[in-house]
Structure 1
Amino acid sequence: MFQNFYWKRKGLPPGPIPLPLIGNLLSIDKLGLEDFFNDIKNKYGDIHTFWLGESPVVSINDVPTILETFVKEGDTFAGRPTNMLVTDMTRHGRNGLIFTDGPIWREHRRFALHVLRDFGMGKNLMQERVLDEVSFLIDEIKKQIAAGEKEINIQDGIDLGIGSIINALLFGYSFNKNKQEEFYELKTHLQRFMRAVGSPLVRLCDRNPLMFKMLPFIYGDVTRAIKELDGFFMKQLAAHEKEINFDVDIEATDFAEAFLKKRKQLEAEGVKDHTFTDKQLYGACLDLWIAGQETTSNTLAWLVIYLMLNPEVQKKVHAELDSVIGSDRFITVEDKTQLNYVNAVVAETQRFCNLVPMNVNHRL
């Protein structure tokens, strides 16, 4: 009792008393992450501690401390927790871009940024890809209106468009009409995976591997979800590798091709202990997919909801677009500096929307 209620909490910021083995997971499960965080912030202040199983998590909620910790002292707190079993199961070890740290993280973050910039991130090439998907979405909505449909779900179209852009960057092709079923298959796998790994019981097992043996049904759900994702991405990567002609010195057209060509180059130079492995490629593609799809799609979903609930804001957005853009062309990046109200609405959506209740943990 002394160990649980006092000693293990000594030196940490205040917070709710954890239960043995499960920490504060019962409260998280009962209230949900959003209400749980609001509750303990109101009770214990902007900096507090809660427990996932036997692992303490220090939560920071004020802007000055966030800037001090993750900007000014970013390198100090850039590490990831070491006890993340489900993460390691998903990525075949500590691979990918989100949950790695140290030299492998720096190397592959630098590589990913370099490749994505080459493919037009922030440039006209990326804009063209986005506008192609926007045009397709608008055409589909017009078809539904012409068909007399009273209710139109634009979220599926948004998801598909974002997925097409990400997939083109990763594997070189978008989800056109012949490939849409492939997208919905992947979306189903991702949703099942996110549900499986997001449950409080899995959070408990993530930090206490012995719990998996005590809860075999949880282990089964997680491994099935991981196996589905693994099979989908590995199939993509294997097929893509067969299509690449490594004997021809031409620029890569997608992330997977650039990665595989980099590996071929290192092997030709006699480098044996490189980190450009199949597992790292899988982890990087999975991380880019999840980070790009979920955050962008959910942000746009919140934006649509806020505009529907605030018609006066919607009218002002429409008026500014009519004034600056007109009705005979698409918005482009060059228009951004003239769309002050639209920029403000987007920024307020990003500030206000419930996008990621709990961010990726950092190692103290």
Structure 2
Amino acid sequence: MEPWALTTFILVVCVSFLVFLSLWRKDYKGRKLPPGPVPLPIVGNMLQLDQNISRSLCKLSEKYGPVYTVYFGSQPVVVLHGYKALKEALIDQGDIFGGRGYLPIVDDIYRGHGIVFSHGEKWKQIRRFSLMTLRNFGMGKRSIEERVQEEAQFLLEELRKTNSQPFDPTFILGCAPCNVISSILFHQRFNYDDEKFLSMLRILSENVTLLNTPMAQDRKNPDSVFDFENLATAGMDLFDAGTETTSTTLRYGLLLILKYPEVQKKIHEEIDRVIGPHRIPSIKDKLEMPYTEAVLHEIQRFVDLVPFSLPHEVTQDTQLQQYFIPKGTTVYPLLSSVLSDPKEFPNPEQFDPGHFLNKDGSFKKSDYFMPFSIGKRACLGEGLAKMELFLFLVTILQNFTLKSVVDSKEIDIKPGSTGLLTVPPKFELCLLPR
């Protein structure tokens, strides 16, 4: 290339970049959004965030306050930090902040269908239908507890097969909650070695049989949300949420109990006093087991399973605190900021069941306990998840003593990965019969 041509090319590139930068800054400054760090063109604020995004977002709040804006690429996102900001948005303005924000990693898969990633009237209808269906199948009734109790006994059978040898609990703990959802939707549970069941665990998508009927209720209604794809996605949502979240929390819980043997000892003492060695645990036992209940709450608080919830979207122009937030803005409610609030939970980085115990040893509730989020977009299966966590954990510890394959002081409890979900590191344990 001739020198004059190279010089011209470089000049054109520089001028183009300066024009682009000027337009970007004009567009950025013209947006009516809460303050935040100045974004770069194209990458936004991504260079200011490390791999632990929730931790980075919490740190930015120290400078920009409880309501601020960051850019993921060119997309602005309003971040809510702390209990007050989340309550004002998700409870006090629940309808306005009840939209589902755009999430590129799942948008191509869900395409706005199902319960979790749908919007507007479609979401209202499919959520209402899902709640009604789950209640008809026993959610909140004695029958659902019996399903969980039954599955806990099958889980015990599988755990006994480990013969006190080291094993990775990931697969077995995934089977149990998945079978509970299967029994609700399909009126059928599966053996843990069933090929169909294993396939369902792998893909969590072949789960639409029970949801076919409403499509023939409403097939002639052009405005109906009850089409095959939407109901299939709703079924997949139930399996995803009902399997992965519970099994991951339970698995992380076992790791934490291995790390702190004194916690296991106290749970064993409470189980022996309230339930004994032979009676099947019941959800009513929670009332007499404040320490175990505190441990379960502390596991969920400490694990911080969904650090910044799922993205919300503002459905109309609104005001939050002193800031204007326009319609269509994506909002990230930082659940981490509430679950680790040092004023509510002293030394929040420490695993301490005392966070949920009064001085007299009774269980202490907290408004800051929101691992299932709050408001209209809170987790649909919160009640089932709490029941499963209690009955599965208590059944395991009623029958076994957890033993680590390494010294408890060497156990690493830092997450294996953190993104949309917080996942524990891989580990093995031994189950010694009591």
Normalising by the smaller structure, the TM-score range is: 0.7 to 0.9
Residue 78 of structure 1, CA deviation: 0.6
Residue 312 of structure 1, CA deviation: 1.4
* Counterpart for residue 154 of structure 2: 136
* Counterpart for residue 140 of structure 2: 122
Contact map agreement 1:22 1:53 (CA 8 A) in 2: yes
2:168 to 123, 145, 153: 153
| Alignment pair present for 1:168 and 2:183 | yes
Distance 2:135 2:238 in 1: 14
Contact map agreement 2:58 2:81 (CA 8 A) in 1: no
1:196-252 deviation digits (Å, cap 9, x = unpaired): xxxxxxxxxxxxxxxxxxxxxxxxxxxxxxxxxxxx53xx53xx3xxxxxxxxxxxx
Residue 76 of structure 1, CA deviation: 1.1
Distance 1:112 1:15 in 2: 39
Contact map agreement 1:5 1:17 (CA 8 A) in 2: no
Of all paired residues, the percent bearing the same amino acid is 33
1:74 to 94, 104, 114: 94
Contact map agreement 2:103 2:311 (CA 8 A) in 1: no
Distance 1:3 1:71 in 2: 38
Q: TM-score, normalised by structure 2?
A: 0.62
* Counterpart for residue 387 of structure 2: none
Residue 55 of structure 1, CA deviation: 0.9
Contact map agreement 2:114 2:233 (CA 8 A) in 1: yes
* Distance change (3 Å), C-alpha of 1:307 and 1:85: closer
Contact map agreement 1:5 1:18 (CA 8 A) in 2: no
Contact map agreement 1:4 1:18 (CA 8 A) in 2: no
Structure 2: any 5+ residue segments left out of the alignment?
A: 1-20, 315-434
Contact map agreement 2:179 2:189 (CA 8 A) in 1: yes
* Counterpart for residue 431 of structure 2: none
Question: Match of 1:361, as an amino acid?
Answer: P
Contact map agreement 1:24 1:51 (CA 8 A) in 2: yes
1:20 to 18, 34, 41: 41
Residue 362 of structure 1, CA deviation: 1.1
SS in 2 for 1:114: helix
Q: TM-score, normalised by structure 1?
A: 0.73
Residue 46 of structure 1, CA deviation: 2.8
The structure with more strand, counted as a fraction of residues: 2
| Bigger Rg, which one | 2
Question: Match of 2:40, as an amino acid?
Answer: L
Contact map agreement 1:96 1:281 (CA 8 A) in 2: yes
| Alignment pair present for 1:41 and 2:61 | yes
SS in 1 for 2:313: coil
Distance 2:259 2:292 in 1: 16
* Counterpart for residue 262 of structure 1: 214
Residue 32 of structure 1, CA deviation: 3.0
Residue 107 of structure 1, CA deviation: 1.1
Over the aligned positions, Cα root-mean-square deviation in angstroms equals 2.3
The structure with more helix, counted as a fraction of residues: 1
Question: Match of 2:113, as an amino acid?
Answer: N
1:156-197 deviation digits (Å, cap 9, x = unpaired): 211111111122223333231452x3344344446xxxxxxx
Contact map agreement 1:79 1:363 (CA 8 A) in 2: yes
SS in 1 for 2:78: strand
Question: Match of 2:169, as an amino acid?
Answer: I
Contact map agreement 1:78 1:362 (CA 8 A) in 2: yes
Structure 1: any 5+ residue segments left out of the alignment?
A: 191-231, 241-256
* Distance change (3 Å), C-alpha of 1:85 and 1:307: closer
Distance 2:151 2:248 in 1: 17
| 1:236-255 → structure 2 map (5 Å cutoff) | 236-237=207-208, 240=209
* Counterpart for residue 225 of structure 1: none
Question: Match of 1:111, as an amino acid?
Answer: F
1:284-343 deviation digits (Å, cap 9, x = unpaired): 012112222221112112211221112112211111111111111121112121111111
* Distance change (3 Å), C-alpha of 1:24 and 1:173: farther
Distance 1:153 1:132 in 2: 23
| Alignment pair present for 1:100 and 2:114 | no
Distance 2:237 2:171 in 1: 21
1:54 to 60, 67, 74: 74
* Counterpart for residue 108 of structure 2: 89
